[in-house]
Structure 1
């Protein structure tokens, strides 16, 4: 019974943690992509992430136009999620420095998963609703453009078919496998690896 409550606690804590990490990383990625700030979804992400981010910006300045405070917040959320889940699972306090490294790898893995899933959604809707003006789809296109545009310049579309997502998928797979290798080198426990959103089958 104790193990059951422990597992439920880890599940709830990790789920809330990964959802908030997802929001923070989305905010950072949307800023890099120069996405529409006034999109209702953008505004929702801003409202959710502002409470811890605005005070953090007073301590962590931007660098070359990059919002470093968002990156630091993402690392801290992942770090707290790892340490908290370890305590709830009865593993005691994990090494904070190791947890910070695992958090970095977890954040990178989450970004890969966001782009991967985003591309899948974008491809599906490009066939069933190619001219949709839905705010979510418009924001998704803006988010993915920095990843697809460089590939598109090297490999132009075949007529009306844009094949750049195929090569982006390949690159994401390679990056994900490298991250897995680094996670193994960093002795990341299996439960920590399972905390973060991970592409099924990778």
Structure 2
């Protein structure tokens, strides 16, 4: 592969990952019932709306959850992987392989989103515990549905919240169970 191929793969990987992450954030924010009047949520909706609207016409929402965002993210992931394989000069594998890699990539990306938002939530709880900054409000709204079941199980520890430790463990267990089995030889790293 030449320099232009490397640049093409880098651009597809970087821009594709950022856009797919925005589409996944849109889906996760909707699932967690986050405030869609938050300025950051509005930016995410504005960025992803042109593509998601195409899929929304074809895929109905179920129980108040718009699955068109998730299908959109999956198809974008498939296109990005196929584009990187094409530009790098590799032969195209079967559609099933690309679909499997895409599902593994989306699961990994969702787990990474929760890992980083949980880390931001923990750090912000020490620095600015009662901040009303739109980013921190959105982070709390995104992580609360994941942390709430653990908070119900764990007894109160005198103001110390140990639920993030168990959420981190659960995220790693999910990564081991769902992503690592798909990380077979020939797996496309990146997306």
Q: TM-score range by the shorter chain?
A: over 0.9
Counterpart of 2:11 in structure 1 is: 12
Q: Give distance in 2, aligned partners of 1:128 and 1:100.
A: 42
How far residue 7 of structure 1 moved from its aligned partner, in angstroms, is 1.5
Q: Give distance in 2, aligned partners of 1:68 and 1:12.
A: 27
How far residue 112 of structure 1 moved from its aligned partner, in angstroms, is 0.4
How far residue 188 of structure 1 moved from its aligned partner, in angstroms, is 5.8
Equivalent residues of 2:59, 2:67 under 8 A apart:
yes
**TM-score computed with the length of structure 2 as normaliser:** 0.95
Aligned counterparts, 1:15-54, within 5 A: 15-54=14-53
Aligned length: 191
Matched, 1:189 2:178: no
Q: Structure 1 residues 188 and 35, CA, compared in 2 at 3 Å: closer, same or farther?
A: farther
How far residue 189 of structure 1 moved from its aligned partner, in angstroms, is 2.6
The RMSD of aligned alpha carbons is: 1.3
Q: SS at the partner of 1:195? A: coil
Equivalent residues of 2:107, 2:179 under 8 A apart:
no
Q: Give distance in 1, aligned partners of 2:9 and 2:2.
A: 10
Equivalent residues of 1:102, 1:188 under 8 A apart:
no
**TM-score computed with the length of structure 1 as normaliser:** 0.90
Counterpart of 1:165 in structure 2 is: 164
Matched, 1:142 2:141: yes
Aligned counterparts, 1:48-197, within 5 A: 48-184=47-183, 187=184, 189-190=186-187, 192=188, 194-196=189-191
Equivalent residues of 1:83, 1:96 under 8 A apart:
no
Give structure 1 stretches of 5+ with no counterpart. Answer: 197-202
Give structure 2 stretches of 5+ with no counterpart. Answer: none
Equivalent residues of 1:6, 1:88 under 8 A apart:
yes
- 1:157-184 CA deviation, whole Å, 9 max, x = no partner? 3111111000000000111112333213
